[in-house]
Every structure is written in structure tokens, then in C-alpha cells.
Chains A and B, each alone.
Chain A
Amino acid sequence: MPSVETRSWERFALPNGLRVVLAPDRSAPVVGVAVVYDVGIRSEPQGRTGFAHLFEHLMFQGSANLEKLAHFRYVQGSGGQFNGSTHLDYTDYFEILPSNALERALFLEADRMRGPRLTEENLRNQVDVVKEEIRVNVLNRPYGAFPWLKLPPVLFDTFPNAHDGYGSFDDLEAATVSDAADFFERYYAAGNAVLAVAGDLDVAQATEFVQRHFSDVPARPAPPRPDFAEPDLTAERRTSYVDKLAPLPALAAAWRVPDPLTDLASYLPYVVLAEVLTDGDASRLVRRLVLTDRIVTSIGGYVSFMGDAFDVRDPTALLLEARLPPDGSVDRVLAVTAEEIDRVAQDGLDEAELTRTVARMSTHLLREADTVLNRALRHAVYEQQRADPALSHELPRRLAEVSEDQVRAAAARLSANRRAVVEVVPGGGAR
């Protein structure tokens, strides 16, 4: 096995409930700073689809000591970069900067943790910006939001799991400043947040900076987290829609998988299976569907709707998605896919197939961990969801422990009666 990550890390909590992870690595003069709040798309209220994401934008619009635009200017004027992103189960805010700006970055994050400046003008401006974001990523391109926003309403029944996390324009336009204030009050509590810093830092000094800037953030407890559980499917569900920009048919299928948090050991074989099926030209489905039968143009597979297997809670899914040639048959693709999955379940894996697949997965994990920002984000999410900030150090070993029998058993669970399928009907394209 490749060497796993051995870097050290420290964790502690402030009296106001904020949890902190510090992960020093002095090999380059840069630091990554991440603040993760335990609220995401699944927590937004009915009638306010897209609100978690809209609120994320509002967190950049100024705070107690910072005018609008100041956050951007101070981060970039320190040589750094910033962003935030909204996920199903959390929302993150982050910077990567030369390490001489560490204290400044902590000041900026603490300032908005005390409270953003929520104004009508900024809200309207950011509703407009978000609408352009949705147009560019969903409405003005072929296969927009496919399949990550198209499969959940087929696989799930409840609003938290099934609704459109980008939001309808009506809901976005209906959002008010008072909605935003309530959302902040409820979810953006110190007790609901994790701060992680990775990179060129001295633990004692960074601890002092953290205490200096975050200690007087008011204590508010984490809200109770609702149970988003839903029963598994017992019969196949299948839908289709016309994408007027898409020139070719496409197909996505999803199956529920075990709970990533409470049953990681049972979950990991599905993560490996997705790669056995679709990682590269030596994978089962690429070989059969793309190279041999030539019934798809491309095929991909992964666990969790946003493609990251280790930042979600239950319920989530293993997804496959394929693009078909112009005259392609969705039924044929589903049948051949089922046949190949069944071959894994019945006959197991070839010699070395499991080890080479896991070796490539290790490369992906290590490569992602090569940026201090990703390390900070990982530590923060793992601390928040698992109270185990160092899961990233463990994952290569845990993946290497997945057995052939476990992968076979996972494959056996990908049956047609547990499947949700969405088909994209091409509406023309070339416009």
C-alpha cells in the first residue's frame, strides 16, 4: 500500500461551542482556512428552495466590521483566494492565502460568524447574481443539472431530499431579509460550526489567533438536526424529460447505499464498486458499454449526488450516468449494465482488479490532499459529521481493506427493483 497521510493535527473547542482543527504542514508558505456550518440544501424551508445557497452568497456581502466588497478585497489584497459552496448537508466558506495573512483570514471569518450585514439592496443584487448562476449552469446549457438535481425527486419522496437545491426563480425572488436573519439565527451558530486551518502554521500561535478572534463570538447552540431518513425503493421508478438543448439521449440511475456515517464499513464497498465499474478504460462498464458494445459514448459512476462520497449523510446513493449515441437505446444500456453488475456479483473480480482500482483511488485521495485548502475542508467536514477530523488519513487504508466479497455483495444490491432512473430525451441541440 502507498504510504498514508501521517501529518499531525490538533483539535479543540472554544467555550462558545466552536470546534477547531489545526493541521500544520510547513512545506510551503501557504495556509487553507475553512469554516463549515452544519446546514445545507436539505435544511431549507418549504417555499424557499435555493435559500441555503442564496444565503451563502449573502455571507459575502459585509459584516460588523466589513463593508460590502471588503471581504473580497482583504482576501485578495493579501494574495489569497476565497469562495464558498453549498452542499446537501453543509455550507463551507474558505480561503487559501500566503501564510503571512493567516490572522487576517481568521478575523474575516470571525466577523461574519458574528453576523452578516443583511440588507434589502444586497439581497436583491445577489438574487440577480444567483439567477445568472442558474442560467449559466442549468438553463443555458445542455444536460444542465443532470443528474444531480434530476435524480433526487425520483429516488426520494420528502421535500428535504427531493427538492431543487438551486431553487426556483419564484422562491428566490420571494426571499426576504427577515428570512435571512432567521436562517442565520438558527443555523449559523458557533456551536453548529467547525473551523479548520491547514498548512504553514505554528499550532501555539494559531491557537492564540483563533482565541483572539473567535472567543467572543456569541455562544448559540447547534439546532437539533432533523432526521432525513426515507425508506428504500421496493419497485423501480423511472422518469424522463425533454432537454431542448441536448442533442443526444442520456441516462442516469441511482441506488440507495448504506449510511456513510453510522456504517462506514458497509458503505465503502459501494464507493469501491463505483470505481470498479467506471474508473477508466479497464473498468467493467467502460470496457463493455463504450469499447465493446459501443452503446454509450461515455459512462461515469460515483457515490453521492455531488460526487464526493465522504461529505454526505444518509440518505445518499450510488449513481451511474451515461451519454448515448443518437440512436441509442436506454433499455439496452440498462439491460447490459445490469448484466455487468450481475457478473461482478456472481463471478467476483479478476485477479488484481480490486488492488489496482484501490491504488488509483489512493492516488485521487492523496492528490486532493496535496492542497492545504482541501485538507482544511476535509478536516472541517469530518470533524463536523464524524467527530473524526483525520478520516482522510485513514481512508487509503480503509479502502484497501474492502474485500472482494464485500464488493460482490454490494453489486448484488444494485437490482432493478431498487433503481431510480432518469432519461434525457434530446430536444434538438445545435442552437
Chain B
Amino acid sequence: MTTELLVGPRALPALEENRPLVVPPSAERTLGNGLTVIVIERRSVPLVEVRLRIPFGRAQLDPGFVARAMLMSQTLFSGTPTMSTVDIAAALQSVGGALHAGVDADRLLISGNGLASGLERILSILSDVLHGASYPEGEVTTERSRLLDRIRVAQSQPSHLVRVALLRRMYGEHPYGMQSPAAVDVAPLRSPDLADLHASRVHPAGAVLVIVGDVHAWSALDIAEVTLGGWDGSGGAQVTPPVPPLRPGPVVLAHRPESVQSSIRLALPAVGRTHPDHAALHLANLVFGGYFSSRWVENIREDKGYTYGPHSAVDHSVAGSSLILSAEVATNVTAAALLETYYELGRIATVAPNSEELEQARRYALGSLLLGMSTQASLAGLATAYAAYGLRLDYLVEHTARLAAASSEEVAAAAATYLAPAKAVTVVLGDAERVAASLSTLSTVELVPAPVGTAALDEPEQGTPPPSEPEPIRGPSGV
């Protein structure tokens, strides 16, 4: 890449030499109770990021478990025998800190950050909560009501409704088929339900603590050992069975009366991060729709104006991976947008990407890895996600090499294997009275009522944002 490209009267500057991916210094220790502690040094700002990932899989689809886990995660910081909710929050705040818990189908994740000098305080409060969260009945009552209110709000949010419908369609009776609580399962929960779940599942076996920031690795490991080494190591994890293969079929149309847009979702097969096809699939997806400069986005947004922020990404879960396409489109172009989506899937599956498309996607993928290594928060997120699969940050070095080496033939083969429209599961949430007839021209359609009672919920975000975080009006990449 040293030649200048003439793109008009002026020459586009060439890229300088590629910058190498440098994995920051880290250290790791497995404590006697089974907790794995990973510390990554990144001294860009005098802060520390903390993530504690506790396996929370389940062997069966269990709506009651989903409800208990969600309410437990929201009440985890509501008191110990010696501290109230307010005491806990104030003690963390005094070192610039905060901790939050969230749960999904695979894990309970406690996340937080604070001034680096407060690491010991943050971990010792975390330890107090892990040992002694007491789920006071009054606080449980408050959090239960708040959760029920959030479920009501989620039920009017199209992004959540369509996710519920998609999970049901993809996974059926597998535990992933229902990942969010129903009001009917939340309403009867009391303090002992949460304390029992905590006692049986909140243990260090298989758990990973990731610490990233302005710390010295060995001293941070010592702090972790002193504060968390006594966490009770009993209890056992449950193993989530592998996900069933996708079963293509009619377009599922979930009716949402008077919806002014349709939410289109497609699921396709995918592979995990260590599979030999992973790098090639990653590149094939980028060329298809995985970033703005992709065939699908350029088609349905920049050419046709059907949508604002379509995106396509591989979604990794412990029991399996899948590729998910998402687009919110104007109601009157629902079928047309789906047609273009099938067209672009068919095109990538049958016509190999040209070398310009592939090299552009490759550079994007490699650059994204560099960007992801440049902040404490993103390092913490990557390290935690990889640790769930037994991987460490040096996986990125191998992934970089695989991305760099993936051939055009391998990418074309991955596209044919994983992006074929014949393998897609399609769900549309929208006003069926306005979109069913035109969708029926493309596919058989199975009409279902809008999912009610099992709405997906946003994870509580860091830093207790206001109920609706204000945002600047965004430009082109609406994702």
C-alpha cells in the first residue's frame, strides 16, 4: 500500500505501514476457590475496570429461573447484614466507583469501574455482596415492582418484541428460546427465592474476574486474592445443551397493529471463534452487511432509502453461534426490503466477493481489532467475553493472522456455507394488515400475534443512566 490512488483532481493519501497489534501486559492467577483472576495493565487514565463473570447457564428452558435470575441480579446490591443499598452505593461512590449486575442466558455479569486507587475498596464491597447479599424483603418488593414496570415498557418496544419472537423461532424449547422474564413469573417472587438462587449459583467455580486499568498486575492479583479468596467455592454449574440447528421455514410475521415500521430479523448459521471457518465467515459477513460499506447497507439504505441503521453480526453464545441480520424499515417497503436482503444473501453465497471488496473488509476487520485494544473499557469487555470460551487476549494475535491469511476462495466458501438465504430463519414484526399480502409474494407467511408477557429487557447500563438517555441526533452509522 504505497501507491497513491488518483480519485479526482487530488490524490488520496496512501496508508502508512500497518501498525502492529500489541497485546498489553497481563497476569493471571487461579485462586484456591476456583476463581480465575486476569489483570491487564493499561495506564491511559487513572481508573480501573472490573468485570466478574459467573456462569449462569441452564439445562432446560425454565421461565421461573429466568425471572429469579433477573430479579436477583437487580437486588444483588440491595443490602448485606451490615450495609444498606445506600451504604453500598455511597462506599463505592467515595472511590469514584459503581457496580451493577446483569444476567443473560449464559452468565451473571457484575461490571463496574472507579478510580484506580479504589480497587481494594471496590473488590472488598464486591466480596461482601457475594458472601452476604441479604435480599431484604422491602428492597425485593421495590425492585420487583420496578422490574414489572420495565416489562410493561419493554412490551411496547419493537426491538424487544422482535427479539422475543426471533429467539422463540430460532431455539424453540432450548433454554435460549426464552431469555427474558414474564410478569407472571416475577410477581410471586420473594426474598427466599432470590437467596436460594444466590446460594446455589453464585460461586467461583468457573467464574472469571477481569481487572483492567492503571494497576500493577501482580499487586492487583494480590488484592483480588485477599478480598475474594474466601468466596465460598461450593455449588455447581449447569451446562446448557448445544443449540439446535436452524430450521428454515415460512416467514414468521408477528402482528404489531399500527406499527409505522417493520422490524426485520434473519438468523443464519455461524461458528464459534476457534472454528477454522471463523475468520473467513467474519470477512464474508462484512462484505455482505457487517459494516456500513457493505453490499446490503449500500443497497437498502444508500441506494433505496428503506432504512436507517441495518446491521449484520455474528452473535456468540456459549451453546452456539449464529449470524443475525437486523433492519427497521418503512412499513410500505417491508417486502421490498426483504427481497433485497434475500437478493444480497443469494449474491454473496453464489458470487465470490471481488478482491477490492475483500481487501477493504480485511483492513476494516484488522483495524477494528486495534481500536478495540485502545481503551480500558473495551479491553475489559473483550477479555471477559473471550474468557467465557477459555480464550485470552492473545487469541487476537491468532485471529489477526487468520484474518490476514484468509483467501478469496475461503471467504467465498464460507459465504456459500453460512450466508445462503435457503438457510435463513426470517421473522418480521410489523402491521400485518399492511405487510402480510406483499410478504406472501416472497414466501409463505406464518402469522403470529405480537409476543406478550415475555419481553426482553435491556441490561442495566453502567452509571445509572436516566430513564431515557438523551442522545445527539446521529449521522450515517446509526448503529
Residues of A within 8 A of B (CB): 2-3, 5, 25, 27-30, 41, 53, 56-57, 60, 64-66, 68-70, 72-74, 76-87, 93, 96-104, 106-107, 111, 124-133, 135-136, 139-143, 146-148, 165-166, 200, 245-248, 250, 278-282, 286-287, 290-291, 294, 297-302, 305-307, 321-323, 325-326, 352-353, 355-357, 359-360, 362-364, 366-367, 369-372, 428-431
- The smallest C-beta distance from A133 to any residue of chain B, in angstroms, reads 4
With both beta carbons as reference points, the residue of chain B lying nearest to A68 in the complex is identified as B302
User: B96 at the A/B interface (Cβ < 8 Å)?
Assistant: yes
Question: Is B149 in contact with A325, judged by CB distance below 8 angstroms?
Answer: yes
Minimum CB distance partner of A77 in chain B: B360
13 other A-B residue contacts (CB within 8 Å) besides A77-B359, A300-B466: A25-B44, A101-B16, A103-B16, A107-B12, A165-B473, A279-B464, A281-B89, A301-B466, A352-B94, A355-B94, A367-B377, A429-B155, A431-B259
A298-B146 contact, Cβ under 8 Å, with A133-B308, A429-B152: yes
- The stretch of B57-65, B347-355, B368-376 in contact with A is B368-376
> With A85-B472, A281-B88, A367-B113 in contact, do A140 and B259 touch (Cβ < 8 Å)?
yes
- Considering the chains assembled together, what is the distance between the CA atoms of A141 and B458 in angstroms? 14
Which of B93, B305, B370, B466 has a CB less than 8 Å from the CB of A128?
Answer: B305
- Chain A hits for B464, CB < 8 A: 278-281, 286, 300
Using A129-B301, A135-B260, A323-B149 as known contacts, say yes or no to A140 and B158 having CB atoms under 8 A apart: yes
Closest to B6 in A: A65
B256 in contact (CB, < 8 A)? yes
Q: How many residues of B contact A (CB 8 A)?
A: 104
Q: Are A79 and B44 in contact (CB under 8 A)?
A: no
Assess whether B15 is in contact with A101, with CB atoms less than 8 Å apart.
yes
Q: Given A298-B467, A307-B470, are A132 and B261 neighbors across the interface (CB < 8 Å)? A: yes
Chain A residue with Cβ nearest B462: A367
Q: Give chain A residues whose Cβ lies under 8 Å from the Cβ of B441.
A: none
Stretch at the interface among B164-172, B290-298, B381-389: B290-298
CB neighbours of B95 from chain A (8 A): 359
CB <8 Å contact, B142 and A84:
no
Once A64-B8, A300-B465 are accepted as A-B contacts, the answer to whether A132 and B329 lie under 8 Å apart by CB is yes
**Contact indicator per residue, chain B 110-131, by CB within 8 Å of chain A (1) or not (0):** 0001110100000000000000
B 11-41 contacts with A by CB, 8 A: 12-20, 22
Separation of A300 and B452 alpha carbons in the complex (Å): 28
Q: Chain A residues near B9 (CB, 8 Å)?
A: 64-65
| A300 contacts across to B, CB distance below 8 A | 464-467
CA distance A80 to B366 in the complex (A): 9
B257 within 8 A of A: yes
Partner of A246, one of B156, B260, B465: B156
- Report the Cα distance A103→B15, complex, angstroms: 8
Q: In the complex the two chains form, is B475's CB within 8 Å of A79's CB?
A: no
Contact in complex: A245, B46 (CB < 8 Å): no
Q: Report the bound CA distance from A367 to B367 in whole Å.
A: 22
Q: How far is the CB of A363 from chain B (nearest CB, A)?
A: 4
The reply to whether B477 and A133 form a contact with Cβ atoms under 8 Å apart is no
Are B93 and A69 interface neighbours, CB within 8 A?
Answer: no
Q: Is B469 engaged at the interface, CB distance under 8 Å to the other chain?
A: yes
Instruction: Verify B16–A366 contact, CB threshold 8 A.
Output: no
Q: How far is the CA of A140 from the CA of B259 in the complex (A)?
A: 7
Q: Is the CB of A367 within 8 A of B47?
A: yes
Contact assessment for A100 and B261 in the assembled complex, using a CB-CB cutoff below 8 Å = no
Smallest beta-carbon distance A245→chain B, Å: 5
Contact, CB under 8 Å: B475 / A126: no
Q: A85-B473, A107-B10, A135-B328 are in contact. Are A430 and B44 (CB under 8 A)?
A: no
* Complex contacts, B289 vs chain A, CB 8 Å: none
277-310 of chain B: CB within 8 A of chain A: 291-293, 298, 301-309
Task: Name the CB-closest residue of B to A216.
Answer: B10
Asked if A2 and B115 make an inter-chain contact with CB atoms under 8 angstroms apart, the answer reads yes
Residues B115 and A78 in contact, CB atoms below 8 Å apart: no
Residues of chain A contacted by B85 (CB below 8 angstroms): 281, 291
Task: Check if B377 sits within 8 Å of A104, measured CB to CB.
Answer: no
A171 to chain B, nearest CB (A): 15
Whether a CB of chain A sits under 8 angstroms from the CB of B391 is no
* B410 CB to nearest chain A CB (Å): 20
Q: Is B471 an interface residue (CB 8 A)?
A: yes
- Tell yes or no: B247 within 8 A of A by CB: no
